[in-house]
Amino acid sequence: MLNPAKLGKHMKEILTNIKEFLGLAFWVEIITENPRCTYYFGPFDRQSEAKEASSGYIEDLTGEGATNLAVKIDRMKPTELTIFDDLGEITDRERFPTLSGQLS
């Protein structure tokens, strides 16, 4: 006989998996400026669960040195959990290159 607590947890996982398959699960999206990355955490059955969990993800990323975090919680279906920006950090000099004839 199944333990009622285990059965409840199993049913919740099934529901979350169905929502994930349909693109209805909630995910936490965190975009960091340094390093330039986008992270996805989830899936979650409810928005409140994702919001509650997001503080731990933010704490972990800032503890690893990530800066300028933008957090979004929404229904989505990410195809990758971590996306690294290959361009790396862009300095002001790289954003506004010196044109020929100008002094740098």
Give the tens place of pLDDT for each residue, 24-78: 899 999 999 999 999 999 999 999 999 999 999 999 999 999 999 999 999 999 9
d(CA 9, CA 16): 11
- Residue 74: predicted pLDDT: 96
Q: pTM of the predicted model, to two decimals?
A: 0.72
Question: DSSP string of 15-58?
Answer: HHHHHHHHT-SEEEEEEEEETTEEEEEEEESSHHHHHHHHHHHH
Give the tens place of pLDDT for each residue, 20-34: 888 889 999 999 999
